[in-house]
């Protein structure tokens, strides 16, 4: 593990979270490196998605959620009083289990966040065209949709919709991409395509992906975190975790004894 804070995308210290009186996260201390893909695995209800949603402050929408501890993203505690939520969402993109394109055109979907974050000036149509093409090329979708950019995004296949949702984040230039079971709604072919995309994106983004799929975690990530009952049990190189896990709980989960 690196100890150089400049090389960390996400660092948490003594992170605890409660839903009302139920504690979901316990003293989570993590150092997630910049520029790699890290997978987060564990049985249902272990706190994976709760942790992910804490990193871009989605959880605070629920009035009964209480958090203490620190979450630093690219060196800044996102819960500091001087941090604006809109900047957090700009810096940290989120991809959900099911694709959630807006019921507007493909072009307008890609530009949605970009236009919000360029308030105060009006980008030219040519500039917007360049933004759309660049984003769609990055997610390997341009060739499929370049002739139907005015069509509704909801008419795309699920695989294409999920790629579009990732494309929607790119113009905002986030430093970190959070992905919560991004392939769970896809068939095997769609899963393969999105996994290929995730691997392509790792050169430009730090990616943290929650998955129940052990094979997917092994294929797509360079480091892996195993959580159980709201606690981090192990965090190491993915190959190490799957071949020689350090903790018995990790081995039991990987070998299918529970979860």
Spans of all domains in the chain: 5-97+175-254
Would you say 47 and 221 are in contact if contact means Cβ atoms under 8 Å apart? Answer: no
What's the CATH code, domain 5-97+175-254? 3.40.50.300
Tokens representing residue 195 in the block: 């996994």
Q: What is the mean pLDDT of residues 149-178?
A: 94
Biggest CA–CA distance in the chain, Å, is: 58
Mean pLDDT score of the chain:
91
Residues 45-100 have pLDDT tens digits of 999 999 999 999 988 888 889 999 999 998 889 988 888 888 888 889 999 988 99
> What proportion of the chain, given as a percentage, has pLDDT over 70?
96
Distance CA 134, CA 33 (A): 26
pTM of the model: 0.90
Distance CA 57, CA 52 (A): 9
Residues 209-233 have pLDDT tens digits of 999 889 999 999 999 999 999 999 9
Count CB neighbours of 143 within 10 A: 9
- Length of the chain in terms of residues written: 259
């Amino acid at each position: 593990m690196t100890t150089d804070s400049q090389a960390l995308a996400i660092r948490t210290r003594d992170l605890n979270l409660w839903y009302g009186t139920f504690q979901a996260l316990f003293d989570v201390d993590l150092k997630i490196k910049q520029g790699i893909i890290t997978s987060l695995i564990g049985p249902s209800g272990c706190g994976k998605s709760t942790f992910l949603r804490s990193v871009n402050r989605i959880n605070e929408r629920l009035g009964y959620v209480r958090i203490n501890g620190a979450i630093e993203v690219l060196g800044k505690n996102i819960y500091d009083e001087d941090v604006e939520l809109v900047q957090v969402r700009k810096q940290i993109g989120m991809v959900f289990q099911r694709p959630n394109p807006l019921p507007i055109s493909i072009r307008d979907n890609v530009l949605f966040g970009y236009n919000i974050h360029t308030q105060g000036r009006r980008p030219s149509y040519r500039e917007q065209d360049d933004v759309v093409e660049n984003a769609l090329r990055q997610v390997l979708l341009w060739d499929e949709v370049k002739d139907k950019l005015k069509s509704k995004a909801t008419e795309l296949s699920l695989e294409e919709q999920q790629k579009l949702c990732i494309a929607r984040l790119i113009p905002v230039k986030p430093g970190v991409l959070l992905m919560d079971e991004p392939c769970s709604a896809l068939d095997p072919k769609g899963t393969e395509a999105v996994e290929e995309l995730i691997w392509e994106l790792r050169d430009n983004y730090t990616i943290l992906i929650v998955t129940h799929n052990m094979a997917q975690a092994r294929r797509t990530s360079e480091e892996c975190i195993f959580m159980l009952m709201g606690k981090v049990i192990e965090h190491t190189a993915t190959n190490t975790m799957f071949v020689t896990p350090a903790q018995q709980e990790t081995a039991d989960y990987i070998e299918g004894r529970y979860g």
